[in-house]
Amino acid sequence: MSTRVTIERMGAGGDGIAITSTGSAYVPFSLPGEVANVALENGRATLMALLEPSPERIAPACRHFEECGSCTLQHWQDGAYRKWKRSLVQDALAARGLDFTLDPLVACAPQTRRRAVFAVRTSERGAVFGFNRHLSHELIDIVECSVTVPEIVSRLDDLREVVAVLGGGMKAFKLTVTSTASGLDIMATGCGAPDAAKRQALTALVIKKDFARLSFEGEIIVEPRKPIVQFGKVPVFLPAGGFLQATMQAELAMSELVTAHLAKVKRTIDLFSGSGTFTFRMAENSAVHAVEGEQPSVDAMDRSIRYVQGLKPVTVERRDLFRRPFLARELKPYSGLVFDPPRAGAEAQAMEIAKSTIPKVVAISCNPVTLGRDLSILVKGGYRIDRVVPIDQFLWSSHVEAVALLSKK
């Protein structure tokens, strides 16, 4: 049985919200102002028929839209979409009562996502390669992707051959593919460790297809060439599964904000540094201490430092900043700090930064909610938010990156 609803507004998760007799209902792939017939179940709705489409509705860029669950907003006109995307940061920070200036949204173009995590499995008909359907475990086989770089999309058939050799039966597993300067870096997870025969077959296939590296759960199976990414002037050997900003456009935008805010700083600390995304760019002007919890990323930075000249001193440290955050007294030697934690944010670390006397801080986050929490801690500690810049690193999704620049006198 269908119910006629009007979409009142867009929710933070990218679904339209309709008010029904039983409460709010979330309607995927709808837009504010639209009238539709939907099938309701436990507060969620399936769009059955669009009766009155919004004038902001446009033709989606990808043939898999509404099947593949990776993009949920390709049908929204660009200006309205960007306004909503910016509002995710605005609303999350305003909910904390913060005083801030929010810049216009920094846009990222289609076909620029340089890392994709595919859902894959083998079947009687061959390898199924794609993404899960929206809010489902059903795997949708794809032939194109409007957000991912052509270097990956053009190799889908070759990647299917890798999946076919990996096997794994009918159980779905993950294949993370990263485009690097050396070629594609591929990592399989969740399919079971390949035996000797599979390793031999995979080695031959990777060499034949001219991939840079294939690994399983972080263990390298074959590496004809080390995958290289460029952080400023420094080439870095990316560790298997190592963190990398989703798009180069976003990375450059964030790096420019970081280096400009810390331009006059002589000694900086980079917390949650990854493999040195900001570390090496900051080291062109100031001494940097980089702190990261993953040993492979620490090793990658340490290796790069040895072979690069023309930078200020860079030191690296492995440390779990969730369990053992840098204390305020440990931060005394530094006059600039940047931290870019995972989605959970860095509450404990923010509390120590708030106690410090560091005059310049940059907070980076892919989660506006936890960013708002961490910024409120810093503000209570005496920091002022100079600017907040939203960056649409995750095109046509409900995720958004943000960079906050803070000062303390």
The tens digit of pLDDT for each residue in 306-321 reads: 888 899 999 999 999 9
Residues 267-291, buried b or exposed e (16+ Cβ, 10 A)? ebbbbbbbbbbbbbbbbebbbbbbb
The answer on pLDDT for 168 being more than 80 is: no
Determine what percent of the chain is predicted with pLDDT higher than 90: 89
**Residue ranges covered by each domain of the chain:** 3-57, 82-109+244-407, 115-228
Residue 44: predicted pLDDT? 87
Residues 215-233 have a mean pLDDT of 95
Instruction: Say if residues 294 and 242 touch (Cβ distance below 8 Å).
Output: yes
Look at residue 123 in the predicted model and tell me its pLDDT.
80
Contacts 24+ apart (CB under 8 A), 207-214: 209/155, 209/158, 209/161, 209/162, 210/183, 211/158, 211/162, 211/183, 211/184, 211/185, 211/186, 212/180, 212/182, 212/183, 212/184, 212/185, 213/185, 213/186, 213/240, 214/162, 214/186, 214/187, 214/188
68 catalytic? Reply is: no
115-228 — its CATH code?
A: 2.40.50.1070
State the pairing for strand pair 336-339/314-318.
unpaired
pLDDT on residue 9: 96
Q: What is the pLDDT of residues 13-29, one digit of tens each?
A: 999 999 998 889 999 99
The pLDDT, as a whole number, for residue 340 is 98
Query: What's the pLDDT at 136?
Result: 87
User: What is d(CA 119, CA 117) in angstroms, rounded to the nearest whole number?
Assistant: 7
Instruction: Report the range of poorest mean pLDDT among 84-88, 126-130, 290-294.
Output: 126-130
Q: 33-79, pLDDT tens digit by residue?
A: 999 999 998 888 999 999 999 999 999 999 999 999 889 999 999 99
Annotated binding residue 245: yes
> pLDDT per residue over 334-377, tens digit each?
999 999 999 999 999 999 999 999 999 999 999 999 999 999 99
> Would you say 249 is a known binding-site residue?
no
pLDDT of 300 > 80? The answer is yes
Q: Percent of the chain, pLDDT > 70?
A: 100
Annotated binding residue 124 = no
Mean pLDDT of the chain: 95
Among 62, 71, 108, 366, the one annotated catalytic: 366
pLDDT of 113:
97
The pLDDT of residue 137 is: 86
Residue pair 214/165 in contact by the 8 Å Cβ criterion: no
Residues forming a β-bridge with 113 = 148, 247
Q: What is the mean pLDDT of residues 381-401?
A: 98
Closest CA to 230 of 245, 215, 216, 211: 245
CATH topology agreement for domains 3-57 and 115-228: yes
pLDDT tens for each residue of 227-269 = 999 999 999 999 998 999 999 999 999 999 999 999 999 999 9
Question: 82-109+244-407 adopts what CATH topology?
Answer: Rossmann fold (3.40.50)
pLDDT single digits (tens) 275-296:
999 999 999 999 999 999 999 9
Q: Higher model confidence: residue 79 or residue 137? A: 79
* pLDDT over threshold 90, residue 213: yes
pLDDT confidence of residue 238? 96
Fold of 3-57: OB fold (Dihydrolipoamide Acetyltransferase, E2P) (2.40.50)
